[in-house]
Amino acid sequence: MIIEILGITAAQGKALELGKAFATLVGPIQVQPGCLSCRFFQSWPSQEVLQLEARWDSEENLVRHLKSDMYKRLLLLIELSATPPALEFLTVTEFRGLDLVEEARLNHP
């Protein structure tokens, strides 16, 4: 799995407008082949910080997404960031859930 994390900062007074534009991309991204999930966040208390997170089943499907017209729209929104955007792609080789919490709490005093 590959996790794509994009963070931008909206210019003063533009967070609502830019946030709405980002939010319209979530549904179309979610239905692209290989997208496991896509979520949009605004930070609190500073609503100017916007973050988009998408999870992909393979690098092949992520690359297809990066070459898509949908991503071209996303790149145009990124250019509106008031500060340099943060873009990360994290390759996950293993993930754990509550089993890790249980293991840590039972085996380590």
**H-state helical runs in 34-109:** 59-66, 69-78, 98-107
Contacts of 93 (CB under 8 A, 6+ apart): none
27, 100 in Cβ contact below 8 A?
A: no
Total number of domains constituting the chain: 1
Model pLDDT for residues 2-26, shown as the tens digit of each residue? 999 999 999 988 888 998 999 999 9
What's the full length of the chain, in residues?
Answer: 109
Whole-structure pTM value = 0.85
Average pLDDT over all residues of the chain: 92
Ramachandran quadrant class, 34 (left: phi over 0; alpha: psi -120 to 50; beta: rest):
left
Q: What is the CATH number of the domain that holds 18?
A: 3.30.70.100
Query: Is pLDDT above 80 for 101?
Result: yes
Give residue 40's domain range.
2-107
Percentage of the chain exceeding pLDDT 70: 98
What is the residue whose two structure tokens read 């319209």? 24
